[in-house]
Amino acid sequence: MKLYLLTIFLLLSITVISQTQNSTERYRITQFKENGKNVSKEYKGKEQYLMFFENEKNEFCFAIGSQITKEKSYGVIHLNDSKKNIQTKDNCTAEIMNFRWKYRNNYDSVCGYAANTFTKIFTEPVVSFHCIMATQDLVVYEYSGFMEKPSEYFNETELAKR
């Protein structure tokens, strides 16, 4: 019975992720904290973003980067669990996704792993987000901001090739 329930949960999780994979989603970072310290001012003007996309191998990927400096960290994610349609205290709907991310930095070739909790909050007229990331080096990053419209960002395959 437990195996049956686990199988159903995994299928539902894959369905939620596949709905997200159908299109690239990019999020503009407006607030950035490192180990609890607000460092948003240091990144102002760099047009920082988070992005979910599918690579050429049809793997679900995640990236953090700067539109201005072209620095980024990118790589494949492995879903731990996903929950959809969580009601927030102000009656908005939220989607929470927990995943492990294997990343590579294009600016220093460092590779590593990070555990992430990504919350997408559906409000009118924008979709906002909050992401908490814990790296293997025990650094905790917090990002928040809003989802960009697809016409506002570049092609995800271009990102994967850089």
Reduce the DSSP state of residue 152 to 3 states and report it: helix
Closest CA to 116 of 52, 25, 24, 28: 52
Strand partners, 81: 98
CA 141 from chain center: how many Å? 12
Closest CA to 49 of 33, 38, 39, 63: 63
- What is the CB neighbour count within 10 angstroms for residue 42? 10
149 and 131 in contact (C-beta within 8 Å)?
A: no
The pLDDT value recorded for residue 76 is: 95
Closest CA to 87 of 44, 64, 125, 119: 119
The pLDDT value recorded for residue 93 is: 85
CA 39 from chain center: how many Å? 19
The pLDDT value recorded for residue 145 is: 96
The pLDDT value recorded for residue 112 is: 96
Residue type, 12: L
Q: Is 111 left (phi over 0), alpha (psi -120 to 50) or beta?
A: beta
Instruction: Please name the residue ranges forming H helices in the chain.
Output: 2-21, 40-43, 156-161
The pLDDT value recorded for residue 117 is: 95
Q: What is the CA radius of gyration of the chain?
A: 16
53 and 44 in contact (C-beta within 8 Å)?
A: no
- What is the CB neighbour count within 10 angstroms for residue 81? 13
133 and 115 in contact (C-beta within 8 Å)?
A: yes
Report, as ranges of residue numbers, the positions in the chain whose pLDDT lies below 70: 1-23, 82-86, 88, 150-162
The pLDDT value recorded for residue 83 is: 66
The pLDDT value recorded for residue 113 is: 96
The model's pTM is: 0.74
